[in-house]
Structure 1
Amino acid sequence: MKDAPSSAGSIVFLLGALLTIVLLVLLILRHYLPLRTTPAYLTVPIFFALGLPASIILLVPIDLASSSRAEDSASRGIWLPDGALLVLWRVAYWLTFALTWFILPILEEYADAGYREPRSRLLYSLRANALYQGIMLGSGILAMIYFFLQSGATLSTFKGLVMALAYCWSLIFSIVLMGNGLVSIPRKLFRNASIAGRLKRIQAKAATVHEKMEDAITNLEDLEAQVTALAQRKNGSAKLFQDWIEELAEESHLPESRPRTLMRRMSTPQVVIPNVITEGYMADLSRKLDRARHSRARYLDEWDRILQSSTDVQTILDSAGSKRIEIGEASPNASLLDRFTILTPYTRYLYKNYVLPYGRVVLGVALSLASFCIIWSEVIKSINPYFSIIALTVVHHQEGKRGQIGFAGQVIAACWILYMCAAALVTLTEVKVWRGRALVRRNTHGESAMWFAMQVAKLTVPLSFNFITFLIPDIYERTVFFDFLGQYVELTPLGKGFNWLFPTLVLIPVGASLFNLYGKVRDCTGFGAGVIDDGNEENDTGYGTGSWREGRDLIERELQGASSLGRLGGSERRTHVPNNPNNRTAPHLSVPPAERRALGQASTSRPSATTQPQTSIESENENVFEAFGHRFKNTIDTVQTPKWLQNVGDGFKRPKWMGGDGEGEAEPQRPGNDVSRWFGGRRDGRVRL
């Protein structure tokens, strides 16, 4: 009698893969969160919200190989018994379900509540989630009536209702995001292959980021001024929250302790404090302060990355003559690969000017083909699944009419699922409608980190199940995953039709992103500006928000050290960048970036600070009429004549009573402007009336 095949080797491989996933998740958490200061109620759910979806990507290929193997022989890939797979699927799915729909939403609002007491924060979180859960419950009641009419009112039907509704809602969300990402990822690779075009896009983005950074800094200063004014109240209702107010004041970088922008020195923020201080007001102020600090840190970090990217790309362009790229002292935040390099200046020039651009083109072509295969398989699976390109790449070792999936097919299947999830997650970072949420290196807001982790957990299950439907029904219908989830999704005719037909609508976001429909709608209606970062926001006509020329000037001033953004004295060191004709200096990044920058920025169109003292001294010694004459003259002097009006009158002769000789000769220049002579001319710098 032949011995039953053993899965011991597969179990060892699975344990090693899970350990690798744990290490990768910890590295991701360390990259985006300060682990020492982040509370455990944030790090532990985020860890499971990232680790469980990664394990699902690992379980799908194992399930496919296990279900396609012969009953009396071991699989040629990694396989597990059906009982073990069912246990793993139950643990992974229901933990992910609980995190997505209950645990993470409550903890997300709990972290953003602003209250000091845990009970108050929990009540605020429950109230904030009540509306969302109420909408879901209302939709579920309608779907429950339909399910019970189709399949009867049983416990199994109710379980299928919950699983089907969660799958359908997540599938709608994931298909829309994935469709945009399937176009966005290859397009970015093709665009970044051009070094000059990449620099221009960085400069075009710089103007918008700089403006948002100024707004974030100004908003934080206004809130901190409100805290300062609130701390001056020592009696009344403010006395009840004195400890809370002092805590906010200690955490705030008060304007008196750092340099301020010119505009902030010239204007005093309007601070409105209610007469009666309540707990709700204090919580709202704390919440706004927390969001404003992380918003400031987000744009400061983004501005630093723009400066660093601009410097690196400009160095590559400047090396065209010398054929060498020198590197200076590595930044403390540089990666291990950046700190140690074996490339010589000449080989570094070849690598960055030829290898990387052509490598991006090759990778862009490969990912474009991968995107086409996914889109083709989405459309063709409802017509004839045997023509699915993904199925041909995954199923190997044909034996008669039954196909098997080996280790190579498992690796390819995992890569397909990983690319589908990456396409959806990339779109999350491009869409600008998530209430200002963003991932910041070592300084991500706890609420933002929780929200992004929730989206990762929400997208992985529907995309993984959608992937197995690309294969032949004879293979995926025997999987434990389909038996666990698919039977409930296809429990009713409506659910079965939705599962087969809705994914074909991926063509809508694909077409909208491919033909820049978002930009056309934005240009026609004026709405949706900046909703999706499609890379077409350049303004080639001149200056203004989004202009690459304005962004270039802002970057130049920052790198030359002439930016109007003040710095904390001695807190920043700059590293010299060689091969730079303008003697640029690379910004030194520190963690967090908010620690090393003054929190103020004057716009480039604002008056220079050097002219302010003289104007103030003159204004103290002049009367109303003199001040009016000065301001009126300055206004006229700064007006530029339109081009179409500059040459008008050249053919006319000036009469003698206007100072000419009647022959069209120009009037001799006199000191001062004609407008000043209307007020009696200037004597000793003053206007005589």
Structure 2
Amino acid sequence: MNSSAGSNVFVLISILAISIVVLLLLRHFLPLRSTPAYLLVPIFLALALPISIILLVPIDLASSSRNVDDASRGIWLPQVAVQIAWRITYWLTFALTWLILPLLGEYVDSGYRTPRDRLLYSLRSNGRYQLIALGCGLAGLVYIFLQNGFKGTSIKGLIMALAYCWGLIFAIYLMGHGLVAIPRRLVRNANISGRLRRLQAQAPKVYDRQTTAIAELEDLEGQVTLLRQRKNGISRDHQEWIEELADMAELPDGRFSSSLPSPARATIPAVITDRYLAEVSRKLTRARHKRIRYIDTWDHLVRCAHELQTIIDASTTKRLDFGKPSPHASFFDRLTLLTPSTRYVLYAKIIPGIRLALAVVLALASAFVVWSELIKFAAPRLSLISLTVVTHRGDASEVTFAGQLVASLWLMYMCAAALASFGDVKIWGNRALVRRNTYGESAAWYSGQIAKLTVPLAYNFVTFLPQEIHKETTFYHFLGSLIDLTPLGQGFDYFFPMFILLPVCATLFNLYGRIQKIFHLGLIEDDDEETPAGFGGGGWREGRELIQRELNGRSQLGLTARQDRLVSPRASGYSTPTGAGGRRSQLPIHTSAPPAPLQEPSQSSTGERQAQRLAEATRAAEDEDENVFQGFAHRVRNTFDAVERPDWLSDLGKRPKWMGSADGGSENRGRPESGRGVGRWFGGRAADGRVRL
């Protein structure tokens, strides 16, 4: 029997390479020096362990093959080593996903000063979710006890089966969307003019979000200024806390309260409590990161649009020159190996061709995955993934080294399809990944979701293979046998993945856009959304003017103006915006005067948003001490008031013309419609289109 020394060396080198890749990934999104170790280490493990599963599954397939000699089975390890690796990887991933990372996310986002208060807040926030999960677990435990009797393995199997089922439901939906979105995005980006037009159409929305984020931060900074000027009724600890908030906001000492609108004064309660200051601290930290996020998004959009426009303009001269790179640009951006002529050929011809070819390959891969999900129960040997991984020699089936490489590629693509959907599906709140400035709560949440998806996708991939292969793996004996503990679990592995057709068809035929137009929802970011062509409607012409205005302002400020828009990592305790010194005075966001068609809509919409935010903050301060039943009634009323009824539903309550007016004649004309329909049960809709909280 041959030794596995060569495989051991390969595994060690692979683990080292995975660790380096994860560190580079963390460096791209997080400031490593200022991020505390209690947050950085769990996030590192939550990324490194799922990536190692992509390596562990092919090794398990080769190590479990009995019909292959040691010389031809590729990379393999002893069964004991594979079993220990699966136990460590699974249970550590399970603990990170369901316990450690949720607690750390709420701990970072608590807003309190002391570690004890942060921990208590995190436990309270996660306790509700854990109680719901425990209730579902008790119902499943009763079913398992009735099916298999009272055994020690029943509880363990229940925990693993519930985690697997929830992760698989989540993964199938995201993967189905990504299998269509990735090839489609490559095809769209291959067309340079079409990609530029889409960026211009997105520009007004991104610009408006950036302006709103800056205005929200200014409101919170004004609130901190009012707190700072208040001297009576505040303890020494609270005064120190307020000074820390002022340092976080980088407020100057010479700001006067007379410059603030009067509604902002109403947001300061009569009694300052720890809960109130923690809420202000949490909102201020989120607002700072939100501003950095949209500034970075806007900057990336402007830079990409400028590069695309430069490529299009170079079509006459066949010479492409992006200009002098910024001193803060990456190493690859500063390389000048190409001449202007070869650079034009690369960006205008070669890269679009590569994108089209890659789109065709990935579209075929997506079709293979969907076909394998549908056929694996009826005829697993017809699975196209199984045919590319398993080698058949007579009656024997084996996984060779080539099959291991192909299996790793399939796993990487399935995980990439699921993870690529995180940027499209708009149900994650305000969480986002920002270069070098990702918020700690967002980083913990994203890493936890990655760890949660990888194990179900890995086992789902194993079920593509024939049963005589996947039931011999250590992965099946460790996880699959407990999932198949009941008849309900046995069918779930094979029948539920067929529902992948739902997200695939929804993305392929743009059902999300149709639903969004009917119900005014924003579940999926649709690049094909048709926008008006005029000013003020978010059309591409308005986006072109905004981008051009931004580029003209940058050309007047110099090459380093983009880097001065961000603030350096300091204020949120572990990461804050980059740059020292001042605040808004050092943010040259709009330097040139806006054109006349764009000035009035921008100013009016910003003023309305600020007035609406201040009014909502005033109502929130007044309702701070409401009881549970009042809060529930307000939320129910808010839910019904926020729904916009379709035209056909509004016409159902109207009388025919031959029966007379439903409004009782002209005496009711001009009255608001808040007393009609379901809204009158909960007090009607608030004035000026606002939503009551």
Of the three residues 536, 549, 558, the one matched with 2:541 is 549
Which of 481, 484, 490 is equivalent to 1:490? 484
Distance 1:589 1:194, change over 3 A: farther
Q: Normalization by structure 2: what TM-score? A: 0.80
Distance in 2, Cα, partners of 1:416 & 1:257: 61
Alignment counterpart, residue 114 of structure 1, candidates 96, 111, 130: 111
Specify the code of the residue in structure 1 equivalent to 2:541.
R
Match of 2:364, as an amino acid?
L
The answer on whether the counterparts of 1:6 and 1:74 sit within 8 Å (CA) in structure 2 is no
Indicate how the Cα distance of structure 1 residues 562 and 413 shifts in structure 2: closer, same or farther if over 3 A, else same: closer
The residue identity in structure 2 corresponding to 1:317 is I
Who is 1:292 aligned against?
287
Match of 1:409 in 2: 403
> Cα deviation per residue 1:617-669 (whole Å; 9 max; x = unaligned)?
xxxxxxxxxxxxxxxxxxxxxxxxxxxxxxxxxxxxxxxxxxxxxxxxxxxxx
The CA distance in 2 between the partners of 1:429 and 1:419, in whole Å, is 16
For 1:483 and 1:421, the matched residues in 2 are separated by 23
State which of 443, 463, 470 in structure 2 corresponds to 1:469: 463
Change (3 A) 1:540 1:190: farther
Moved more, 545-554 or 99-108: 545-554
Cα distance in 2 for residues equivalent to 1:362 and 1:255? 56
Q: Quick one: structure 1 residues 416 and 256, their matched pair in 2 at CA, closer, same or farther if it must change by over 3 Å?
A: farther
Q: Which amino acid aligns with 1:574?
A: L
Aligned to 1:350: 345
Counterpart for residue 534 of structure 1: 526
Q: Are the equivalent residues in 2 in contact too, given 1:332–1:590 (CA < 8 A)?
A: no
Pair 155,607 (structure 1): closer, same or farther in 2 beyond 3 Å: closer
2:429 pairs with 1:435: yes
Q: 2:37 aligns with which of 22, 40, 46?
A: 40
1:517 has 2:520 as partner: no
Is 2:221 aligned against 1:224? yes
Which one has the largest radius of gyration? Answer: 1
**Which position in structure 1 is the counterpart of 2:587?**
597
Q: Per-residue deviation at 1:65?
A: 1.1
Contact 1:300–1:594 (CA<8 Å) still a contact in 2?
no
Q: How many residues align?
A: 582
Relative to structure 1, the CA distance from residue 268 to residue 337 in structure 2 (aligned partners, 3 Å threshold; closer, same or farther) is farther
Aligned equivalents of 1:282 and 1:608: distance in 2? 33
Distance in 2 of aligned mates of 1:418 and 1:337: 25
How far has the Cα of 1:121 moved from its partner? 0.3
List per-residue Cα deviations over 1:67-92 (Å, max 9, x = no partner).
12536534431001111100000000
Aligned AA for 2:249? S
Q: 1:59 to 1:472 in 2, by over 3 A?
A: same
Counterpart for residue 382 of structure 1: 377
Q: 1:94 aligned to 2:91?
A: yes
Q: Against the structure 1 CA distance between its residues 201 and 588, is the aligned structure 2 distance closer, same or farther, given a 3 Å change threshold?
A: farther
Tell me, in whole angstroms, the C-alpha distance in 1 between the residues paired with 2:235 and 2:425. 41
- Partner residue of 2:551 out of 552, 559, 570: 559
Structure 1 residues 205 and 53 mapped into 2: Cα distance closer, same or farther (>3 Å)?
Answer: same
Q: Distance in 2 between matches of 1:370 and 1:160?
A: 33
Partner residue in 1 for 2:304: 309
Structure-2 change in CA distance of 1:360 and 1:29 (3 Å)? same
Local SS of the residue matching 2:397: strand
TM-score, with normalisation over the residues of structure 1? 0.81
In the TM superposition, what is the alpha-carbon distance from 1:267 to its structure 2 partner? 6.0
Establish whether residue 60 from structure 1 lines up as the match of residue 54 from structure 2.
no
Does the 8 Å contact 2:532/2:538 carry over to 1? no
Q: Distance in 1 between matches of 2:554 and 2:63?
A: 64
Spell out, residue by residue over 1:351-408, the C-alpha distance to the aligned partner (whole angstroms, 9 max, x if none).
Answer: 1111111111110010000000000000010211011000111112x33211211221
Matches of 1:358 and 1:544 in 2, distance apart?
A: 36
Letter in 2 for 1:557: R
The answer to whether 1:573 aligns with 2:558 is: yes
Once the 2 structures are TM-superposed, how far is the Cα of residue 336 of structure 1 from its aligned partner? Answer: 2.3
Q: Distance in 2 between matches of 1:544 and 1:265?
A: 29
Aligned position for 2:184: 187
Q: Distance in 2 between matches of 1:71 and 1:467?
A: 21
What is the percent sequence identity of the aligned residues?
Answer: 54
Distance 1:342 1:600, change over 3 A: closer
Q: For 1:118-129, what aligned pairs fall within 5 Å after superposition?
A: 118-129=115-126
Q: Go from structure 1 to structure 2 and tell me whether the alpha carbon gap of 1:206 and 1:265 turns closer, same or farther (over 3 Å shift).
A: farther
2-side partners of 1:242 and 1:589: how far apart? Answer: 31
- Equivalent residues of 2:565, 2:587 under 8 A apart: no
Distance 1:591 1:473, change over 3 A: farther
Is the Cα contact below 8 Å between 2:326 and 2:559 reproduced in 1?
no
Contact 1:559 1:586 in 2 (8 A): no
Question: 1:153 offset after TM fit, Å?
Answer: 1.1
Task: Output the aligned Cα RMSD.
Answer: 2.4
8 Å contact from structure 1 (residues 201, 538) kept in 2: no
Q: Deviations over 1:77-125 (max 9, x none)?
A: 1001111100000000000000000001111100100000101000000
Q: 2:388 matched to 1:393?
A: yes
Q: Is the 8 A contact 2:566 2:587 kept in 1?
A: no
Q: Summarize the Cα distance change of 1:429–1:294 in structure 2 as closer, same or farther, 3 Å threshold.
A: same
Deviations 1:314-334, CA, capped at 9 Å, x for gaps: 000000111101132222343
The C-alpha deviation readout for 1:162-203, integer Å capped at 9, x for no partner, is: 100000011001100110011110000000111100001111
Aligned-partner SS, 2:234: helix
Mapping of residues 335-374 of structure 1, within 5 Å: 335-374=330-369
- 1:534 aligns to what SS in structure 2? coil
Give the SS at the match of 2:319. coil
User: Once the 2 structures are TM-superposed, how far is the Cα of residue 257 of structure 1 from its aligned partner?
Assistant: 8.0
Q: C-alpha distance in 2, partners of 1:314/1:434? A: 33
Q: What is the match of residue 279 of structure 1?
A: 274
CA distance in 1, matches of 2:76, 2:449: 29
Hey, what does 1:664 align to over in structure 2? none
Contact 1:375 1:506 in 2 (8 A): yes
Q: Does residue 326 of structure 2 align to residue 331 of structure 1?
A: yes
Q: Aligned runs of 1:646-685 on 2, under 5 Å? A: none
2:160, 2:479 within 8 Å by CA — same for their partners in 1?
Answer: yes
Judged with a 3 Å threshold, the aligned counterparts in structure 2 of structure 1 residues 512 and 242 are, in CA distance, closer, same or farther, namely same
SS, match of residue 403 in structure 1: strand
Q: Write the deviation string for residues 403-426 of structure 1: whole angstroms up to 9, x where unpaired.
A: 211221111111111111111111
1:10 alignment partner, SS class: helix
